[in-house]
Structure 1
Amino acid sequence: MNTEQILAEIREANLSYLMLAQSLIRADREQALFRLGVSEETATILDTLSPSQMMKIASGNTLLCRMRVDDDLVWSLLTNHGKSAANDGISRLHASILMAGRHHEAA
């Protein structure tokens, strides 16, 4: 994959993210804040973006969204390293609880 292809993928991901974020915020603001990991102020800005503003913002070469899971424990729970399939639901629940707590701390 060359640089131009990577930049095109970033622009596409940015636009998809902005459209998804705006849709989630308009459908259920509280759920959107949690799922997107954004503040109330950011949600307000995203909610009011026009299509042309979203296109302009998405066209940059920097990825707008980021991986919220930057913790080895959460990754281990999500990927079930060393665990049986029977514990899958419990591991995912545990990971969700940890991430929810971090969202609350960041807000």
Structure 2
Amino acid sequence: MARFSIYSGLMLVGYSSLESGDPPMGVAFGQFEPTAGYLAIQNECRTNHVDQSGLTLSVKTESGVVVPSMAVAILDCTQELLPDCIEITILGIPSAFYEALFPYHVIKYAHQFVR
């Protein structure tokens, strides 16, 4: 499974395999693995679950290509729940990019309708 890099501006803040998704909605999400850079934005990710646009979050492929999207958000519930309960969600990925980056999500989605 691919490993994506998550940035806040130019600062690397973590990684994710984006192991889950909703292809028709262009949504990919997964467990977030923070780096040392995450400490600079962690408080905002813990307290602001509505609008994180000020963090200028972006996601890059292993080859360094930015994943186009409408929004990226980090949901950090480490204070309320378990210490490793941080999730990243990417919203509004164009379908052509989604199919190329997440073929497994697309296949899994299609198979749920086959009986």
Normalization by structure 2: what TM-score?
0.20
Tell me which structure has the larger Cα radius of gyration. 1
Greater share of strand residues, 1 or 2? Answer: 2
Greater share of helix residues, 1 or 2? Answer: 1
